[in-house]
Amino acid sequence: MGLRESKKLAAWRAIRTAALELFEERGFEAVSVEEIAAAANVSPRTFFNYFASKEAVVFDQDPEQREHWRALMADRPADEPLWDSLTAILVGFNQLLGDRIPLQRRLKDRSPALAQSSWEVVGEQFLADLREWTTSRTPEGDPMPAALKLNVALAAQNTAYQTWGPDEPFDGYLERLKCCLRQAGAGTASTPSSASNS
Amino acid sequence: MGLRESKKLAAWRAIRTAALELFEERGFEAVSVEEIAAAANVSPRTFFNYFASKEAVVFDQDPEQREHWRALMADRPADEPLWDSLTAILVGFNQLLGDRIPLQRRLKDRSPALAQSSWEVVGEQFLADLREWTTSRTPEGDPMPAALKLNVALAAQNTAYQTWGPDEPFDGYLERLKCCLRQAGAGTASTPSSASNS
DNA sequence: CAGAATTTTGCAGCGCCTGCAAACATGCAG
DNA sequence: CTGCATGTTTGCAGGCGCTGCAAAATTCTG
C-alpha cells in the first residue's frame, strides 16, 4: 500500500476519532477545529486538508467503506426492478454504517448547527455514488422516473431516521427503515408503469 | 399597523431586494454581508437582526406570505385524503412563490455554497408549518404514515426541482411538479394501508 | 544518496456571526 | 408636549471557520 497512503488513512482516522470523542463529550459547537487538530496531533491547517468543513468530519465516510457500498451497488442483478435494488442498497448501507448512525443522531439532537446541516442522512460521497449508479440504470428517455424513485427511497430513509427515537435500539431503526421503504414502494411498483414509456 | 411594524417590514424588504440584486449580478459568494447592508442603508449588524445567516436572505419568505400558505393549509377540508391535501398545498405554495423559484435556482446553480445549503427546496418556516399541520392531521397511533407521506411529497418536489432545466419556463416546473406528485402518490393512496400495523 | 513528488505546517488574512451596551426611535399616559 | 417605557439600530470587540501561499518536512524513485 505504501507508507504514504497508510499514513494518510491513519491521519484521517486519528482526526475523526479525536473529533467524535470531543463532540460526544462536549457537543459539536463547543469544540473548535483547533482543539480537534491538537487532539489528533496535527496542525489546524492540516484538518482542512482532510475535511472540507467541520461538519464533514461528522458525515464523511471512511474511505475504505466506499468499496463496500460500491460492491452493494455492483451486486444488484441487472434485471432486478429498480425499486428493489434501491431498497437493498439502502438497507445494506445502513447496516454497513451500523453504530455510527446512533452516534450521529445524538450529535445532531444536541446541535442546531448540525441539524440544519444539509446532508440528508449520511454521506455525501455515498449519495453521489448512488445518484450516479441510478442514472446509469436509466438508459433512455427522460430520467425523471428513476430520479423520482431515488428521492422517494431517500424520503423513506429520512422518515425512518426522523421518527426513530434516540432511545430505541439500532435494530429498531433498521426495522423502521424497511417498513418505510416497503410502504413508500407500494405504488412505485416494479412494473414499468403503464403510463411512463415514451 | 403602526409605524414600528411597517418600518420593520420595509427594512426586511430593503435588505432582501438589495441582496438579491447583488447576488444575481455578481454571485452569492462574491457579495459580502457588509455590501448588502450598505446597499440597504443599514448597519451590517442590523442585517443579522433580520436574517439568521447570509443564506437565509435567499430562502426566507416574506412575512406576509406566511398568511397565504397558512390559508392554503386551513382551506383543506378535514375529510380530504392526506395525500390530496399535501398535493394541493405544495402546488399552491409553489405557485405562490412564482418567479422567486427560478431566481433562487439561478443563484444555486452558480454557487456551490448555496447548493449544499440544506433548505430542501424553499422555505424553512413553510416546512415547519407544513410539518406541524401534517402532525395535526394524525390524531392517533404512530405518526409514521403521515410523516412518510409528507417526506414523499417533498421528495416529489425535489425531483421536479432537480430535473427542471434552468432554461425551461416556470410553468414547465409546475407541470413537472404535478406529474411527480401524481406518480409518487400512486401507492400512497388514501386507504389506511392494510399492512401497516405491527 | 540526490532529486522529484507530495504532504504538513505556519502565517496572514477575509468574512460570517455573536454578545454587549450605548444611542436612537417609537408608542403611550398624563 | 413631555416624560417614560419599550423596542430597534448601531458600533465595538472578538471568536471562529476557512483559504491561499510559500517554506519546511517527509516519502518515493532511480
Within a domain: B89? yes
Residues B111 and B146 in one domain: yes
Within a domain: B191? no
Residues B23 and B108 in one domain: no
Residues 6+ apart with CB under 8 A from B87: B153, B178, B181, B182, B185
Within a domain: A191? no
Q: Which of B118, B151, B186 sits opposite A118 (nearest CB)?
A: B118
Residues B47 and B74 in one domain: no
Find chain A residues with C-beta within 8 A of B195's C-beta.
182-183
Q: How confident is the model at residue A121 (pLDDT cuts 50, 70, 90)?
A: low
Within a domain: A198? no
Q: Which nucleotides of D are covered by protein (CB under 7 A)?
A: 7-12, 15-21, 27-29
Residues A46 and A77 in one domain: no
Q: How confident is the model at residue A92 (pLDDT cuts 50, 70, 90)?
A: very high
Q: What's the mean pLDDT when you consider all of chain A?
A: 90
Residues 6+ apart with CB under 8 A from A124: A56, A59, A60
**C-alpha–C-alpha distance, residues A166 and A78, integer Å:** 37
Q: pLDDT value at position A83?
A: 95
Within a domain: B131? yes
Task: List the domain range (segments joined by +) for residue A40.
Answer: 3-54
- The Å distance, CA of A117 to C1' of D12, is 30
Residue matched to cell numbers 401524481: B182
Q: What is the mean pLDDT of residues B39-44?
A: 98
**Total domain count for chain B?**
2
Residues A37 and A95 in one domain: no
Residues B50 and B69 in one domain: no
Residues A91 and A160 in one domain: yes
Pick from B197, B188, B194: which is nearest to B81 by CA?
A: B188
- The Å distance, CA of A150 to C1' of D2, is 68
Within a domain: A195? no
Q: Where are the alpha helices (DSSP H) in A56-195?
A: 56-59, 63-74, 82-97, 100-110, 112-115, 125-136, 144-163, 170-185
Q: Which of B145, B151, B159 sits opposite A147 (nearest CB)?
A: B159
Q: Percentage of chain B with pLDDT > 70?
A: 91
The CATH number that applies at residue B21 is 1.10.10.60
Within a domain: A148? yes
Q: Which residues touch strand C (CB under 7 A)?
A: A 4, 7-8, 11, 41-46, 49; B 2-5, 7, 31-34, 44-45, 48, 52-55
Find chain B residues with C-beta within 8 A of A183's C-beta.
145, 148, 187-188, 193, 195-196
Q: pLDDT value at position B194?
A: 40
Q: pLDDT value at position A193?
A: 41
- Distances from the Cα of A152 to the Cα of A4, A70, A83, B51, B186, angstroms: 41, 21, 10, 32, 12
Query: Which site among A151, A181, A191 would you substitute to test the B interface, given the most B Cβ atoms closer than 10 Å to its Cβ?
Result: A151
Q: How confident is the model at residue A196 (pLDDT cuts 50, 70, 90)?
A: very low
Pairwise CB contact (< 8 Å): A158 & B151: yes
Q: Which of B148, B184, B185 sits opposite A159 (nearest CB)?
A: B148
Q: How confident is the model at residue B185 (pLDDT cuts 50, 70, 90)?
A: confident
Residues B42 and B104 in one domain: no
Q: Is the CB of A1 under 7 A from strand D?
A: no
Higher pLDDT, A191 or B109: B109
Find chain B residues with C-beta within 8 A of A176's C-beta.
144
SS3 content of chain B, % helix, strand, coil (to 5): 65, 0, 35
Q: Which of B143, B162, B188 sits opposite A147 (nearest CB)?
A: B162
Residue B32, nucleotide of least CA–C1' distance: C15
- pLDDT(A197) > 60: no
Residues B50 and B134 in one domain: no
- pLDDT(B9) > 50: yes
Find chain B residues with C-beta within 8 A of A118's C-beta.
116-118
Residues B118 and B147 in one domain: yes
Q: pLDDT value at position A131?
A: 94
- Distances from the Cα of A113 to the Cα of A15, A33, B53, angstroms: 20, 15, 12
The CATH number that applies at residue A126 is 1.10.357.10
Higher pLDDT, B18 or B196: B18
Pick from B146, B61, B149: which is nearest to B100 by CA?
A: B61
Q: What is the mean pLDDT of residues A121-134?
A: 90
Amino acid residing at B195: A
- pLDDT(B124) > 80: yes
Within a domain: B45? yes
A:B CB pairs within 8 Å = 85
Residues A25 and A88 in one domain: no
The residues of A between 44 and 103 with beta carbon within 7 Å of nucleic strand D are 44-45, 48, 52-55
- pLDDT(A138) > 80: yes
Residue B31, nucleotide of least CA–C1' distance: C15
- The Å distance, CA of A45 to C1' of D22, is 14
- pLDDT(A17) > 60: yes
Q: What is the mean pLDDT of residues A148-164?
A: 94
Residues B86 and B47 in one domain: no
Find chain A residues with C-beta within 8 A of B176's C-beta.
144
